[in-house]
Amino acid sequence: MSQAFWTFTILFGTLINALATGIMFAAMAAGVPAAAAILFHLLPLPYNALALIAVWRSAKTYDGSGFWATAAQLAAAVWFAAMIVL
């Protein structure tokens, strides 16, 4: 569960989303139509959904404390929502 949460969701997911947001802003500055720029911003959405599902499923099979499993699920869901906006 910790690898799914910390590595694939928080580390890689945040980097991918930051890159997509940067590309969106660069596209907007270059005069690309707004719809295309928004598409660049939303490109990581399938990865974000996959990371959320991975954390959710691995938390269900986590052998440790139920608190940490639930906390990881909640944090991944909040992260997913934040990455749509960010």
Supply the pTM of this predicted model. Answer: 0.89
Q: What is the pLDDT of residues 22-75, one digit of tens each?
A: 999 999 999 999 999 999 999 999 999 999 999 999 999 999 999 999 999 999
CA torsion sign for 50, 4, 81, 72 is positive
Q: Alpha-carbon distance 47 to 14, whole Å? A: 11
